[in-house]
Every structure is written in structure tokens, then in C-alpha cells.
């Protein structure tokens, strides 16, 4: 990032020297100030989500997993206030702030959706887990996750989230966690006081949501007709 700025500064300085009517004694001072400003310009840091945490338990090799069922995972829904090019955190109860010079390497909702699907694949061996679409395959089950809250609290060094999940298929649509109508709450510590620490906590969150989803998915998969190419409902 600095090299292009310096090149631009040198070109501007050349034009200044060629056309300026300022006293020659002033020009070196301007040149030093201009180059110093460019050299001290902040560097943009691109933040990418690391892979979600490994399963809490070894992947299950039971009948449901071996049946090669197809799971469609709808695109993860996040709060609008977090859909920003820059990582955001709460500095007060009603004040959002942004980490300086840090930017997401991609749209954060896309990165989170990809890492969540990847976490589910590691937890459901033998399944076909589709991200947003299954192409020519017909899903047996469809999972939709909506994050109602996704709050990084810098003062507490924690990430707090509330997730609502819906599992559908075989003429049934139900909450993944029926005893929690307001959604399931997850809290993750921030490994570091930085945008990178926030990204790590978000990946840990995705792994925790995947862990919490697998048991319900396995139970639904035990229903007659799931797997082995059986038709399901979209």
C-alpha cells in the first residue's frame, strides 16, 4: 500500500518543482513533509475468518450418517448492523465502533456462511451438505440459521450471539431448539483485543452452533425415508 503512495508523491513533487513559483529554499521542506505524510499513511489490514473450531466430539458414524442424506443449508442471516466492510464492536450500550484500518477480506455474511457449512460437513460424515443450493440433488432436510444478535463487546472481551434455527423436510418444519422460542444464546471469549481476535471468536461461534445443530439433524434424519436418495421437501 505504501509503495504506490510514494510513487504518486514523487510524481506530484516533480510537477511541483517544475511549475512552482515558490522560493527554492521552501521546496525541500515541502518535499520532506509530503514524503513523510505518505510514509506514515496507515496500512489496511484485511481480516479473514479462520476455519471454525473442530467438533466437540468425534463425528458420529451411525446409521443416519451412513445413509448419505442430503442437507441444504440456507444462506446464514446476520444482523444488518454487522453487514459492514469493517469489523464492528460495541463500545457502549448503543454505540457501534470500528477497528482502525481493519477491513473484512470478503462480505462477512458470505465468509460466515461458508465456514458454517464447512463446520457441518466435518460433523456429518457421509452426508452431502450443500451451501445455499444443491444443484440437481433434492435435499432431504433444509436448515436455516438466523443470527438475531451478533455483538462483540470490547469492554467485556466477549462475543454474544442469539441464534434461531429452523429445520424442515418431509412435510415438517420445526424450530431446531423448540424449548428456546427466543433463540439460543452463545457467548465466546475474544482471544485478543483486536479485529483478528473478533474473527477468531466468530469462527468459534460457528463451530458451537454447528455442534448444537448436529444432534437435532441426526434425530430428524432417523425418520423413515431420509437418505439413500429419498425425496424431501425444499
Pick 94 or 13 by higher pLDDT: 94
Cell reading at 25? 529554499
Domain-wise residue ranges, the chain: 2-39, 46-221
Residues 102, 207, 168: CA angle, nearest 5 degrees:
115
- 189: CB partners within 8 A, 6+ apart: 157, 158, 159, 201
Query: What are the counts of helices (DSSP H) followed by strands (DSSP E) for the chain?
Result: 5, 10
Strands 172-175 and 184-189, how do they pair?
unpaired
List C-alpha distances in Å: 212 to 8, 149, 158, 217.
53, 17, 20, 10
What would the pLDDT profile of 124-179 be if each residue is shown by its tens digit? 998 999 999 999 999 999 999 999 999 999 999 999 999 999 999 866 788 888 87
With a cut of 70, say whether residue 70 has pLDDT above it.
yes
Confidence of residue 224 (pLDDT cuts 50, 70, 90): low
Max intra-chain CA distance, the chain: 89
Please report, in angstroms and rounded to a whole number, the separation of the first and last CA atoms in the chain: 47
Can you give the pLDDT at residue 179? 79
Instruction: Judge whether 113 and 52 are in contact, CB under 8 Å.
Output: no
Confidence of residue 230 (pLDDT cuts 50, 70, 90): very low
Confidence of residue 194 (pLDDT cuts 50, 70, 90): very high
Select the CATH number that applies to the domain covering 46-221 from these four: 1.10.3720.10, 3.30.420.40, 3.40.50.10610, 3.40.50.2300.
Answer: 3.40.50.10610
With a cut of 70, say whether residue 58 has pLDDT above it.
no
Q: What is the mean pLDDT of residues 27-49?
A: 65
| Distance between CA atoms of residues 35 and 230, nearest Å | 67
Task: Print burial letters for 211-221: b (CB count within 10 Å at least 16), e (below 16).
Answer: bbbbebbbebb
With a cut of 90, say whether residue 30 has pLDDT above it.
no
Strands 70-73 and 141-153, how do they pair?
parallel
With a cut of 60, say whether residue 8 has pLDDT above it.
no
Amino acid at each position: 500500500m505504501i509503495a504506490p503512495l510514494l510513487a504518486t508523491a514523487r510524481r506530484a513533487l516533480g510537477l511541483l518543482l517544475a511549475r512552482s513559483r515558490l522560493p527554492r529554499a521552501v521546496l525541500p521542506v515541502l518535499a520532506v513533509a509530503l514524503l513523510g505524510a505518505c510514509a506514515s499513511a496507515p496500512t489496511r489490514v484485511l481480516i479473514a475468518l479462520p476455519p471454525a473450531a473442530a467438533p466437540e466430539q468425534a463425528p458420529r458414524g451411525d446409521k443416519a450418517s451412513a445413509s448419505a442424506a442430503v442437507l441444504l443449508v440456507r444462506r446464514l442471516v446476520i444482523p444488518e448492523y454487522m453487514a459492514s466492510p469493517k469489523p464492528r464492536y460495541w463500545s457502549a450500550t448503543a454505540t457501534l465502533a470500528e477497528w482502525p484500518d481493519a477491513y473484512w477480506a470478503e462480505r462477512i455474511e458470505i465468509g460466515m456462511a461458508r465456514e458454517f457449512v464447512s463446520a457441518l460437513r466435518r460433523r456429518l460424515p457421509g452426508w452431502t451438505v450443500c451451501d445455499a443450493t444443491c444443484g440437481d440433488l433434492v435435499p432431504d432436510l433444509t436448515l436455516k440459521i438466523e443470527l438475531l444478535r451478533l455483538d462483540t463487546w470490547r469492554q467485556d472481551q466477549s462475543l454474544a450471539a442469539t441464534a434461531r434455527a429452523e429445520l424442515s423436510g418431509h412435510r415438517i418444519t420445526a424450530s431446531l431448539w423448540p424449548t428456546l422460542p427466543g433463540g439460543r444464546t452463545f457467548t465466546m471469549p475474544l482471544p485478543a483485543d483486536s479485529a483478528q481476535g473478533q474473527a477468531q471468536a466468530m469462527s468459534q461461534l460457528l463451530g458451537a452452533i454447528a455442534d448444537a445443530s448436529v444432534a437435532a439433524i441426526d434425530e430428524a434424519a432417523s425418520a423413515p425415508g431420509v437418505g439413500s436418495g429419498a425425496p424431501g421437501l425444499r
